Amino acid sequence: MLRRGIAYRLQERGQGGLSPATARQLDRLATRILRGDAVDSNRDVRLKPGTRLVRYWNGTTYSVLVTEEGFLLGDRNFTSLSHVAEAITGAHWSGPRFFGVRSGRPTTGAAAESANRREAAARSGATNA
């Protein structure tokens, strides 16, 4: 075990350590394990840095950029997508749910735009004919 620890440390020095996103993910998984919760990493959505999430809300379109450190909305950094959703709506929301990100697949492109149009139409009382 000591050899493995030394080998890891040498690799870490030569190639760099874990990315902040990976370290956060490992912390979340460790917390779940310590609480006794089931851990199914295949259910967790992983958004890669550079991904842009777009959400239409109350007449305004919001664009959030996924970064190594978290999420960028305008000039504000957030550590979680739920904090971004709360900043937009003023109420507590599940960030992945608010942005249409589901386990294993994000809602993107035409599907997201269609969902946003339906939501806007529902708010304005319009119907699809």
**Domain parsing of the chain, residue ranges:** 2-35, 52-124
Q: How far apart are CA 22 and CA 44, in angstroms?
A: 13
Mean pLDDT of 101-123: 51
Amino acid in the structure at residue 126: A
Entry pTM: 0.49
Give the pLDDT band of residue 104 (cuts 50, 70, 90): very low
Mean pLDDT of 27-41: 82
C-beta atoms surrounding 71 within 10 Å = 24
Q: Tell me the average pLDDT of the chain.
A: 79
Give the pLDDT band of residue 111 (cuts 50, 70, 90): very low
Mean pLDDT of 84-102: 90
Q: How far apart are CA 112 and CA 119, in angstroms?
A: 11
Mean pLDDT of 36-55: 77
pLDDT at position 116: 52
